[in-house]
A and B are shown apart, each in its own frame.
Chain A
Amino acid sequence: MRLFVENEKCSGCRACLVACSMNLFGENNPKKAALTLIPLFPDPGKFRMMVCTQCGECASVCPTDAIKQNSEGAYFVEFAECILCEACVPVCPEGVMYLDNHLAQTAWKCDLCGDCVAVCGTSALSISDQLLN
Chain B
Amino acid sequence: MQTAELRPKGMLKQYVDGRGCVEVPSGIPLREALSVCGIPPDLVAIAFMDQKPKNKDEIIQPGDRIELHAVIGGG
A and B touch in the complex (CB under 8 A): no
Binding site for B on A (CB under 8 A): none
